[in-house]
Structures are given as structure tokens and as C-alpha cells.
Chain A
Amino acid sequence: MALDREELLHIYRVMKTIRVFEERIHDEFATGEIEGFVHLYAGEEASAAGVMANLTRDDRIASTHRGHGHCIAKGVDVRGMMAEIYGRITGVCHGKGGSMHIADLDEGMMGANGIVGGGPPLICGAALAAKVKGTRNVAVAFVGDGASNQGTTFESLNLATVWNLPAVFVAENNGYAEATSSKYSVGADSIADRAAGFGMPAVSVDGHDFFAVYEAAGEAIKRARDGEGPSFIEARVNRYFGHFEGDAQTYRGPDEVEDLRANRDCIDIFTAAVTTSGDIALADLEGIDRDVLGLIDSAVAEARSAPRPGADDLLTDVYVSY
């Protein structure tokens, strides 16, 4: 399904927003001003953008602990996200969730999840709701290579198959589950092949290539919408930063990250692809770059100056009513 100029510019904007957002959090986190844990998505943008370009606001996603990229690509407000990460009351979760639980159900984002493998069962549920209500909406569960081993993931692949749910499972294999290589912890040669064993179409794509992800996701999502059941996509990606901010990443090869940034950056690859035909000029993209920088700058400034939740907020929203 060919993307037009406006769509391509939008995709660039999405990926660039994720990149600048994450790089900025990396810098700000080092000052000690951001509390708790953050897990950055920089490097993996093409995966989030490629999948979400096929979704509508009413489709649902569940993310991992590395959720900022999925949030941004799904359309969650960037300022609200920044405020949430800064623990402010203006945050998209009013400061009650933080980076690891960042969510906006209005945008169909069922949350980043602090539990590895927490998302897939929830997505089976969201998909079931869509099926029961007859909406043609789909639900997408993101997992990492780590979560691809979790019992919850396997059970969800099976349940989605036997119930013929409009679900798509996307494993972003970045080669590391925390500090342990997927070569060590994933028993099969291919995460996609393993998923195929559950009885669903499963492909492995280069997660640095937006168009490869977009196409594979498009097929899977269409299949789900048409009532033909679940699919699995393994997107082979790479993260630039550590498992968490503060992780020195000594478990990675000496120039691994530098090489990736220099030679396999997904935004560079996308830029090269869309500027060859002449329809989009570098200047257009640079204009977006400036916009994005401005947005992130103001998001940080706003977050910093926003009030923190107080004693009154501590006790609210445990229940609808008690």
C-alpha cells in the first residue's frame, strides 16, 4: 500500500519525535532530575512507526517497559508523556504511573508494562472485545526477545489462535533481554519460526527498514481486520542505549553501538529512501527536525515547571467507587 508525500513526512516526523524525545530523556536523566527507571527506545523507531502507520486511534496496543516509542507512534500527547516521566500532575497518568506504566486508553495505548510478558494476554482481551463488539478493530501486542520466552506470550499465541482473535504480536528482537543476549536465552534459531509453530502466519523482518515493517504489519493487520485471525512479526532491531538508563552496556561489543549509529540508523535509511525520488527534499525534513526540537524543548520546560501531585492525589483513582 503506497504512502503519499504527506504520509511519508508524517512518518518521518513520528520517528524523529521518538528519537529526539529519547535522546533528550537520556541527557536529562543523567542530571538526576528524572526519578525511577527509564528504558529508551532510540534506534528502534522504524518498528513502532511501521506498525502504527497501519493502525487507527480505535485499534489498541500494549507495550513493554520500553514504551515511549510505541506511545508516540500511537499518538499519545508528547507533552503529557514528558510530564508523566517527570512525575508531574500534568502527566498523561497524572504522575501515578511513570515511564514504565505510561498509557492513554483514549488513544488505544493500553500501557507500557513493568511486567515482562504482561501485554500479550491483555491484547487477547482487547482483540476479543473488538470481535465480540464487531468493530473490525485490531489489537497489537509488542514484546521483546525476552518476553518472547515468557509463558504468557506462548499462552496468548495459542489463545489468539484457538479463538481466532484479531490480534497481532510483534516481537522487537533487539538481541538483548536486559544484559543477556537473545542468542543465549532464546532456544530456537528464529523467534518467528517458533511462533509459526502455534499455527499463525509469522515473518521476520529487518526492523531498521520502515517499509519492510510497514508492509509486514499491513498484511498482518489486514488479516486480523478481515477476521482471519492472529499473526506474528519478528522485527529485528537494535537499541542504542542500555536496558535502562544507567546501564553501561559493557555486555555489548566494543564498537557495536557506534557502528549501528553510523551505518544502520533507521531514520537515515528512511531519509535516503524518501529523498531519492525528488518528491521530498532534505530541506523538508530539516523543517520537521526544527519543529520536533521545539516540541521536545517546550515539553521539557513545561514538565519541569508543572506541579507535582500531592497528598490529595495519593488516594484517588484506586477504585471507581469503594
Chain B
Amino acid sequence: MARTITYQQAINEALDQEMANDPSVILMGEDIVGGSGADGEMDAWGGPLGITKGLYTKYGDRVMDTPITESAFIGAAVGAAASGLRPVAELMFSDFMGVCFDQIYNQAAKFRYMFGGKAETPVVIRTMYGAGIRAAAQHSQSPYSIFTHVPGLKVIVPSNPYDAKGLLIQAIRDNDPVVCFEHKSLYQSEGGVPEESYTIPFGEANVVREGGDVTIIALGLMVNRSLEAAEALAADGIECEVIDPRTTSPLDDETILESVENTGRAVIVDEASPRCNMATDISALIAQQAFGALEAPIEMVTPPHTPVPFAGSLEDLYVPDATKIETAVRRVAGYSR
């Protein structure tokens, strides 16, 4: 039975239902409870944006506040996963990957391969990403392509409440390390979410909008922006197909290529910095495997190659918006040799 809830509630529900389902699921992160060791209330925060609120009250010790020591607690989540638990650790801002990257990059990702198949590391790392709230350079990045680059990791980028719950439950049940990127501006977005538990398989893109003229591939918050652009374009008779890959590792190559084979025109919208992001990765895929179908060069709509600026006037120029997406679509739609 589906009802309308927020992305935040969907994440909370996924965690709640999996914790009820499996005693080996534990949570850890900075202030995911809030109040540890202090004289006031416990569960004071439930995470910086309240995502995990109520879980300590329900599950007690299985929900752990951590000191601000990412290397130690992300590493502990990894070590605990390799030792039979199913930890879900929160890396508060994906920008903080710098202080714990080794434990993800050289440890979690590589145990199974380096140890010849004996290791299973079912750790989930949930992390906030994305620009738009004037949080500036060190709290606004979108580094999912960096994790996608690493063999041994899986990466998911849910764009709506339904996908958030289903992908996160899948991630918790998955036996490989998964990094879940949640756009901070999506937490209050609403959508239909079934009450019961369900999973969404990795490597299955969602065709959010069908259309035969131009294929738009977009992730996270950019899915909504692309849909906005698609509506405006439809008024001019340009029908866009909007594809949300949902997971970047594994990536649903087939759905993307099938669409481009049909439309011959591709625009990829990626909020991440332009060098070596998902747009470049998907462009290479299309150029290599759908070259014959292409009627126009592939377009990428991305921010400029700069850190994320603070001032609102600058940040609004930085993050791709519906207008920029529209412009790119018109360019490929109108292109002829």
C-alpha cells in the first residue's frame, strides 16, 4: 500500500525495517543519535537533518554515535562487516571522504579480491552530497564518480523516495560494499512509497519519461531538473526520454544504449565536477557502443571546473538548471552535419 512520504522518511523506514528484520544491522555515524554522554535528551538530533531520528529509541545500542573520527569509524564499519555484521555507517557529508578514503578505497573495496574470494564485506556507507544550499566548497560536492571508479564498490544515487527506500534496503541486503549518495536537497521531496519492505535491483535504470527525440540521462537532483526541461521542450514538439540510472556501479548500459539507438541524440546531466564524472563515463560508453546511431555529438551538462562557490548568485550559476538542460537538448535536436 503506497502513500506519500518524504525521501527522509523513506530512508528512515528502510533502516527501521531492515533493523527489525536482521539483528546484524547496526548503525553508526556522527550525531545519528545526538546527546551521547550529555545531560540532556538522547536522540536529540537523529542525524544533522533528522534522517535517523527515532531509531535509537527503538533499537538502543545498535545505533551508535561516533566521535568525529571518520577513519576510525568508517574503518570499524568495514572491519565489522568483514566480521559478520551488516553495518550502515553514515559519512555525514561526502566531502569528508578525504579523511577516511583509504578504508573504503584500499580496504573494503579490495578485501574480496585480494584475499582470493574469502572475504565478504557487506558494509553500507550512506552519505549526503550536492550543491544548492550555500554550504560552499567543502560541503557541496558530488563525488560519486570517484567511488564508481573503484572496482569492488557499488554506488547508488536514489533520486526519489520510492527509489531511496528500495535501493537502500537492497544495499543493506547486498553482500558487497555499497556507497549510497543522498542529495541533501531531496530529503524533503515527496513521493509514493509502499509501507512494506521492497528492494530495487542494482544495475536497473528507470525510464522516468518516454520520448523519441532526445535521450537525457540524469542522476539524483538532476532527474527533476531534466523533467522540468522536458516539459518545456515538449511544448515545442521535442520529446525527451529521461533515464535515471539509479546506480552508477553497476550501471545499466543496456537501457541507456537502447534509448540512444532509438533517438540518436544524447544529453547527460551530471552535477559533479566536469572532469572524469559520470557524464564523461556515460559519453564514452555511448560513443563506443552506439556510434552508428548518433545523429549529433553527445552533450554534457555539468558545472564548471571550479570548487562550489558560496555566494548564492554564484552557486545558482554553478549548478545545472532546467534552462541549461533545455539549451543543450535544443542544440542536439537541431544539429545537422
The reply to whether chain A is a binding partner of chain B is yes
> Cβ of B175: which chain A residues have Cβ within 8 Å of it?
320-321
Q: Which of A92, A114, A132 has the most chain B CB atoms closer than 10 A to its own CB?
A: A132
1/0 per residue A4-23: CB within 8 Å of B? 00000000000000000000
CA distance A45 to B176 in the complex (A): 36
The 8 Å CB contact of B76, one of A95, A103, A125, A321, is: A125
1/0 per residue A89-125: CB within 8 Å of B? 0011111110001011110001101110010111111
Would you call B77 and A125 a contact (CB within 8 A)? yes
Please give me the residue from chain A that is nearest to B83 by CB atom: A129
With A105-B118, A115-B106, A163-B64 known as contacts, the answer to whether A121 contacts B83 (CB < 8 A) is no
Would you call B64 and A126 a contact (CB within 8 A)? no
Would you call B103 and A121 a contact (CB within 8 A)? yes
Query: Does B169 touch A at the CB level, under 8 Å?
Result: no
CA distance A103 to B87 in the complex (A): 22
Would you call A114 and B117 a contact (CB within 8 A)? no
1/0 per residue B61-76: CB within 8 Å of A? 0101011010111111
B283-303 residues with Cβ-Cβ distance < 8 A to A are none
Please give me the residue from chain B that is nearest to A94 by CB atom: B116
Query: Does B198 touch A at the CB level, under 8 Å?
Result: no
With A92-B116, A101-B115, A121-B78 known as contacts, the answer to whether A319 contacts B152 (CB < 8 A) is yes
Would you call A96 and B113 a contact (CB within 8 A)? yes
The 8 Å CB contact of A320, one of B62, B76, B110, B112, is: B112
The 8 Å CB contact of A129, one of B67, B80, B117, B174, is: B80
Please give me the residue from chain A that is nearest to B249 by CB atom: A322
> Cβ of B116: which chain A residues have Cβ within 8 Å of it?
91-97, 317
Would you call B79 and A122 a contact (CB within 8 A)? yes
With A105-B119, A156-B72, A317-B116 known as contacts, the answer to whether A111 contacts B111 (CB < 8 A) is yes
Would you call B83 and A94 a contact (CB within 8 A)? no
The 8 Å CB contact of B79, one of A125, A133, A316, A319, is: A125
> Cβ of A162: which chain B residues have Cβ within 8 Å of it?
67
The 8 Å CB contact of A93, one of B79, B83, B114, B154, is: B114
A contacts with B, residue count (CB < 8 A): 48
Would you call B118 and A122 a contact (CB within 8 A)? no
> Cβ of A114: which chain B residues have Cβ within 8 Å of it?
106
Give the shortest distance, in Å, between A291 (CB) and chain B (any CB): 28
CA distance A78 to B85 in the complex (A): 29
Would you call A319 and B154 a contact (CB within 8 A)? yes
CA distance A123 to B75 in the complex (A): 8
A121-B72, A317-B113 known, 17 other contacts, Cβ within 8 Å = A93-B115, A96-B113, A96-B115, A97-B114, A103-B119, A105-B115, A105-B119, A110-B82, A118-B103, A120-B72, A121-B79, A125-B77, A133-B85, A316-B117, A317-B116, A318-B112, A321-B176
Closest 7 interchain pairs by CB? A121-B75, A125-B79, A122-B79, A94-B116, A155-B72, A125-B80, A93-B116
Would you call A124 and B154 a contact (CB within 8 A)? no
Pairs across A and B, CB under 8 Å, 19 listed: A92-B116, A93-B118, A97-B116, A106-B118, A111-B111, A118-B102, A121-B72, A121-B75, A122-B79, A122-B103, A128-B80, A132-B24, A152-B102, A155-B69, A159-B67, A159-B73, A159-B76, A320-B174, A322-B176
B contacts with A, residue count (CB < 8 A): 46
CA distance A255 to B121 in the complex (A): 46
Please give me the residue from chain B that is nearest to A108 by CB atom: B83
Please give me the residue from chain A that is nearest to B66 by CB atom: A159
A51-92 residues with Cβ-Cβ distance < 8 A to B are 60, 62, 91-92
The 8 Å CB contact of B72, one of A92, A103, A133, A158, is: A158
CA distance A128 to B64 in the complex (A): 11
Query: Does B11 touch A at the CB level, under 8 Å?
Result: no
> Cβ of B222: which chain A residues have Cβ within 8 Å of it?
none
Would you call B79 and A103 a contact (CB within 8 A)? no
Give the shortest distance, in Å, between B17 (CB) and chain A (any CB): 19
Query: Does A130 touch B at the CB level, under 8 Å?
Result: yes
> Cβ of A254: which chain B residues have Cβ within 8 Å of it?
none
Query: Does A151 touch B at the CB level, under 8 Å?
Result: yes
> Cβ of B103: which chain A residues have Cβ within 8 Å of it?
118, 121-122, 152
> Cβ of A95: which chain B residues have Cβ within 8 Å of it?
116
Please give me the residue from chain A that is nearest to B73 by CB atom: A159
Would you call A133 and B84 a contact (CB within 8 A)? yes
> Cβ of A317: which chain B residues have Cβ within 8 Å of it?
112-113, 116-117
> Cβ of A129: which chain B residues have Cβ within 8 Å of it?
79-80, 83-85
Please give me the residue from chain B that is nearest to A89 by CB atom: B116
B31-88 residues with Cβ-Cβ distance < 8 A to A are 62, 64, 66-67, 69, 71-85, 87
Would you call A103 and B118 a contact (CB within 8 A)? yes
1/0 per residue B109-149: CB within 8 Å of A? 01111111111100000000000000000000000000000
Would you call A159 and B102 a contact (CB within 8 A)? no
> Cβ of A122: which chain B residues have Cβ within 8 Å of it?
75-76, 78-79, 82, 103, 107
Query: Does B307 touch A at the CB level, under 8 Å?
Result: no
The 8 Å CB contact of B69, one of A103, A110, A158, is: A158
> Cβ of A92: which chain B residues have Cβ within 8 Å of it?
116
Would you call A125 and B69 a contact (CB within 8 A)? no
A274-322 residues with Cβ-Cβ distance < 8 A to B are 316-322
> Cβ of B118: which chain A residues have Cβ within 8 Å of it?
93, 103-106
Q: Which of B78, B110, B113, B151 has the most chain A CB atoms closer than 10 A to its own CB?
A: B113
Query: Does B250 touch A at the CB level, under 8 Å?
Result: yes
Give the shortest distance, in Å, between B26 (CB) and chain A (any CB): 6
> Cβ of B203: which chain A residues have Cβ within 8 Å of it?
322
Would you call A126 and B154 a contact (CB within 8 A)? no
CA distance A123 to B82 in the complex (A): 10
With A93-B116, A94-B117, A118-B107 known as contacts, the answer to whether A123 contacts B79 (CB < 8 A) is yes
Give the shortest distance, in Å, between B200 (CB) and chain A (any CB): 15
